[in-house]
Amino acid sequence: MSANILQTEDLAVGYQGKVVQDKFSLTMQQGDFIGLKGLNGSGKTTILRTLSGLQPPISGQVLIQGKDIHKTDMATRATLVSIVLTERIRLRGLRVRDLVEMGLYPTEGTLHFKSKDQTEAVQESLERMRITHLAEKSLSDISDGELQKAMIARALAQATPLIIMDEPTAFLDYVAREEFYTLMSTLCRETGKAILVSSHDVGVMERWVEVG
């Protein structure tokens, strides 16, 4: 029997006291790959920000591995959930490997010394996303699709049981979107991670994930 990774019940989300979504209930177990569909402006991002602990709920709880995400400190939260948002990171001089290594920050020591296991975790994340050949390239020299893979590799290196992605295919062409869903489906099956994605591109998403 699979263990619950994420659980909510009667969750109300919004901002400045305005409810955007009410009575939102979701349970995710190990290996689940679930899609959240909706038009732009329908509240998907607000839901994901609340589930990931970036924004407090109006009411209800968000439990990740039994812990209330809104009652944990930042360090603990970073071991429970990793997030891939729609913003594009293009910092001058930052390499793909540097971006992926940012996923290690919850487990790095104060001297930022990387253990053998951490180094291997970065390499495995690059390999899973099929971007080892890009590791030394600057973020400014890769495509949007390659950057998205690097962002996901960073989330993998963070080694959390839950990964939340907001419109992860927004900047990708059709072929790249199909590749994304193939990779994520394989990742869930092979690692047991739970992945929640939002998208308004329902046609492609529905062929790969359980859509809610």
Mean pLDDT of all residues in 65-80: 94
Cα distance between residue 119 and residue 140, in whole Å: 24
Q: How many CB atoms lie under 10 A from the CB of residue 212?
A: 12
Q: Return the minimum-mean-pLDDT range out of 4-13, 59-68, 100-109, 189-198.
A: 100-109
pLDDT of the residue at 203: 65
Superfamily (CATH H level) for 4-211: P-loop containing nucleotide triphosphate hydrolases (3.40.50.300)
pLDDT of residue 189 exceeding 80, the answer is: yes
Helices (H), the chain: 44-51, 74-80, 96-101, 116-128, 144-157, 174-191, 202-205
Q: Which two tokens stand for residue 206?
A: 């529905």
